[in-house]
Structure 1
Amino acid sequence: MDDFVIRRFEASDTDAVWRVHDRALRASAMDYDPAYDRYLRHVEREFFETGGRFTVVEAADRGTVATTRDHAAEPAIVAIGGFQPLAYVREESDPPSWLPAAVDETCRIRSVAVAPDLQGEGIGTELLDRLATWAAERGFGYAVLKTDTSMAQACRFYERRGYESVAEREGERWYGKRLD
């Protein structure tokens, strides 16, 4: 990880975040719907204003790359991820029956994605571990995350990081982990 810098998201990262997310999901087995993930266009509102965090991993040795429409240089972001209080992002009106912790003590880790050409290099592991540490420092005792069951590689990744499968429905698998 010496060649990478993990840092807080900045508003100028928005387009690069979307590109990493888009590339990673298009390279996966999941049926990808960009409209579903539009919350990533509003990171400040969706993560920071709710008490969460959003982080990017920048390639230190790549400097900046020209990838925007107007060819302005921007950081070489290669991975993304964040967490939000579960109370903010809960999709059901009641707490899930499988949740072993209070909703207000639980965070949801979201949008962990690594550029396809760098997957398997330890970047996702370091990012996920840091997100869990930061969530625990914010007072969350339990983390959940969700992935599509068609993404076998992602399921194995989360299980190797200590996340346990806690629920499955309609092609989605929920994982959970104590953060203490």
Structure 2
Amino acid sequence: MSENEVRPVVVGVDGSAAGQAALKWAVEDARRRGCRVDVISAWHPNYGILIGPVPAEVVMGMAPEAMRAAAQEGLDHAVEGFDGVEMRRVLVEGDPRTALVEASEDAELLVVGNRGHSTIVEAVLGSVSSYCVHHAKCPVVVIREPKAARQEERPTIEAALPLTPGPLL
């Protein structure tokens, strides 16, 4: 990218409330800067461990084509209703951390959401926002998940604890 070229604001979306808040912030910032927004969503096959018979609908939904189509639909849904700024939708197969850090190389700014999981959850699952803060090639803005969304999800998060690194036998 040449020095005279206007670099985009890059934002990661994943269908979460934090991702939508990050997109809204990125769009407002791009309007002020007069640049486009690159909206990135990453997907990858994650089959986990399947034990026992699996319904055909589940198997069909795990096909890479179905996963990609679902990710594209989520990306398209995320950018609906935003006007007044050029947006480039980017769907990437792979780890979101890697995709966002690579996109940061040619970006003015990287914007990511943070769901506010507990330290234990982030230690087991990893944190995309933390990874981006430490590895991005441009400034990073981390947008916290809206408070209302955090309170709605709290029982689900607590019900999921304790997390283990694998199945207990």
> Shared fold by TM > 0.5?
no
TM-score interval for Structure 1 and Structure 2 normalised by the shorter chain? under 0.3
Q: Which has the larger radius of gyration?
A: 2
Larger RCO (alpha carbons 8 Å, 6+ apart) = 2
Normalization by structure 1: what TM-score?
0.26
Normalization by structure 2: what TM-score?
0.27
Higher helix proportion, which one?
2
Higher strand proportion, which one?
1
